[in-house]
């Protein structure tokens, strides 16, 4: 059996974990069970990252995801 000791700030280092990985825990009958929390999202559901670039006289937004014609029509439909 492997054991892990907490430091004076209640931190424990888990050797097989990635940085910033999230766990849920249950404390039943004095036991602690760590369960990795996995975010269930498709890549399309996450917000697009946009950076602004200067192109000639214009400043344009460049995204990391493709933009569909339907999405453009939907966004323009909100304007009067």
Q: How many domains are there within the chain?
A: 1
Query: Domain of 78?
Result: 47-80
CA distance 54 to 36: 42
H-state helical runs in the chain: 69-77
Q: Say whether pTM exceeds 0.85.
A: no
Higher pLDDT, 60 or 2: 60
pLDDT of the residue at 24: 82
- Please indicate, yes or no, if residue 5 is contained in any of the structural domains: no
Strand partners, 34: 25
- Please indicate, yes or no, if residue 60 is contained in any of the structural domains: yes
């Amino acid at each position: 059996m492997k054991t892990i000791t907490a430091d004076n700030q209640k931190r424990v280092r888990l050797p097989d974990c990635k940085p910033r990985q999230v766990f849920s825990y249950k404390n039943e009958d004095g036991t602690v069970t760590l369960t990795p929390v996995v975010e269930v999202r498709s890549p399309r559901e996450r917000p697009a990252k946009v950076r602004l670039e200067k192109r000639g006289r214009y400043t344009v937004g460049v995204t990391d995801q493709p933009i569909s014609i339907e999405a453009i029509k939907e966004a323009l439909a909100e304007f009067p």
